[in-house]
Amino acid sequence: MVTLEPEPVLEYGRKKESVVQKKRSKNTLIFLVLTLVGAILLLLSIHTLETLNYQFRSSLHSASTPPHLFQKHSYCVHLGQEPSPKEAQEEQNLLDSIAWPEPPPRHNPIPLQETSDPAHSKFTILPAEDWREWRVGDQLKALVNMHDFQGRIKSHGGDFLLAKLHSPELGAGVAGQVLDHRNGTYSAVFTLLWEGPARVEVTLVHPSEAVAVLLRLREQRPDRIFFKSLYRSGLLSETTTCNLCLPDNQQPVCNHTDSRTGDPWYCYKPKLLGCDKRIDHATGGYHRDLLTNTEAGLFQSNVNIKVPIRASGSDMIIVQPEKKDKAEVESNRVRAEPVRVIPSGYYFQGSWRSLGGLAMRQFNDSSAITQCLKDKVMYLYGDSTIRQWFEYLNAILSEMKEFNLHSPNKIGPFMAVDSTHNILLRYRCHGPPIRYSTAIASEMHYVANELDGLAGGADTVVVISVWAHFSTYPMKVYIRRMRQIRRAVVHLLDRAPGTLVVIRSTNLQALDPEVSLNNSDWFSLQLDTVLRAMFRGLDVLLLDAWEMTLAHQSPHDLHPPPPIVRNMIDAVLSYVCPEKI
């Protein structure tokens, strides 16, 4: 299990505080001196007092919540709204649908040598049926055999693999579907969609043993990223630790749970100030005491985080043109165990082509986008992966002017206007647990409440991207958040049926050992599966950011590069403004 240092090592967001932290040995002395002159300082400087209070607060925090409590106590006793029986049933079904095969139980921690090693593992492209040529429309299968560091065959499943088929020279790429046979072998299945060369790429994102660690962290260590809020009244200010749930250790808390959505949020109560004096919201820091040494071995860059698996034999095939006999091609396009429809589209010559019946248009110049968005309002809600759209559109649209709302950098809210064409573009981040430097508490709005305040209609486009800040919490937290958003979407579509609502899925990102523990693609995949299931059957457009980042040739990035953002926006605009026939 987890080894814990005597005191949790915290990293604070702001420089000022990390200096405070390092000088902890001098803290007592400084504290005494400051207390003596405190009365004078109270009159002279709010700033100094703030620091003092923060120190007081943080030493109190570590004194009163010894590290072992972080583990023993279930953090999320209060997960907000109690679900109705029907909601509880849905919750259970969703959790069942994302159940991940765990390594077989054993008494001792598994030695690293016995865990999955991409360098010793291989994949093999299986020959086409009857050994004939590959044709467009066929299905290609590769068999992946996982081995451990000693070269021995793995006998259980649960490794997190990604597969894609691509052709850099053609600007082409498509996501593959990975099937876990639960015996150390996996199939990667691809649909052949273009003529010419196609290369198979299989990547081990995490060995199964690392996924088991991530699963444990997600359900048991929701404190691994925590937050803080400043409370202030007149000259008095205090900063305390906040989170979606706080350990039940008798310390008084402020309950900042949203009264309308029931989304939970708590801060420790300031010593002197009332709970209504909360001013801001910020990331407080990280816990680093998460892994044993053995577990740390499971998260090594270039060893077992996102490492490609080599092919035995060739990793490339040449695809011939489609056979004219359509019927035969169709019969080949049978998908095994379609957990979801893969692929939802593919790249060709750098442009995304949807397979879901959406005729893609390219809006590569400012005037084409302007024409499409004329007389429209576009609301972007969520995390930074949707703020990117605001930045992209604001930059590319020549007549769009950003309205200065004096919002903090990166946080927003943001608004841009093209008054000639009557276009309004707005961005607002989702509510806590958003991880930001320092945001104003009164600007922390929940997406569901925002949607409840929209008139909607045929001239309204709403894009929602809520995922990246939820990977440190138990899955139920996300399900409950999305349930509120879904309820608001359903109401919006009821009262204003012409409204276009787009749900942007999760995407892949660059992973190192630290990012893996907070934000691994494995967490994102689980969130994504739940997200799709929850919005299935509603009249919304699902934007498959997952496949659009997997199939693209650029390296994974939490904030996908402009060519991908352009394709995403093209997809939405193609829906808003279909090709006139």
Ligand X SMILES: *[C@@H]1O[C@H](CO)[C@@H](O)[C@H](O)[C@H]1NC(C)=O
Contact residues for ligand X, defined by CB under 6 A: 11, 78, 181, 183, 185, 255, 257, 259, 286, 288, 362, 364-365, 368, 514-515, 517-519
CA distances 129 to 161, 355, 508, Å, are 25, 24, 33
- HSE, side-chain direction, 13 A CA sphere, residue 525: 22
Minimum CB separation of residue 430 from ligand X in Å reads 16
Between 175 and 511, CB nearer to ligand X? 511
Q: What is the DSSP letter of 132?
A: -
In terms of C-beta density within 10 A (0-12 exposed, 13-18 middle, 19 or more buried), how is residue 355 classed? middle
Between 136 and 368, CB nearer to ligand X? 368
Between 11 and 328, CB nearer to ligand X? 11
Q: Are strands 280-287 and 185-191 parallel, antiparallel or unpaired?
A: unpaired
What are the structure tokens assigned to 96, written together? 């069942």
Minimum CB separation of residue 376 from ligand X in Å reads 19
Between 59 and 185, CB nearer to ligand X? 185
Minimum CB separation of residue 248 from ligand X in Å reads 9
Between 260 and 495, CB nearer to ligand X? 260
Minimum CB separation of residue 46 from ligand X in Å reads 29
Minimum CB separation of residue 93 from ligand X in Å reads 25
- CB 372: neighbour CB atoms within 10 A? 17
Between 518 and 553, CB nearer to ligand X? 518
Between 185 and 294, CB nearer to ligand X? 185
User: Any idea which residue has 């943080």 for tokens?
Assistant: 58
What are the structure tokens assigned to 435, written together? 């991880």
Minimum CB separation of residue 75 from ligand X in Å reads 13
Contact 491, 449 (CB under 8 A): no
Minimum CB separation of residue 480 from ligand X in Å reads 12
Q: Which helix (H) or strand (E) holds 74?
A: none
CA 542 – CA 538 distance, rounded (Å): 10
Identify the sign of the CA torsion 150, 154, 157, 162.
Answer: positive
- Rounded to 5°, the CA angle 224-226-232 comes to 165
Minimum CB separation of residue 222 from ligand X in Å reads 13
User: Any idea which residue has 């009821």 for tokens?
Assistant: 494
Between 188 and 424, CB nearer to ligand X? 188
Query: Which candidate, 118, 166, 167, 165, places its Cα nearest to that of 144?
Result: 118
Question: What is the chain's alpha carbon radius of gyration, rounded to the nearest angstrom?
Answer: 26
Minimum CB separation of residue 58 from ligand X in Å reads 17
Between 57 and 78, CB nearer to ligand X? 78
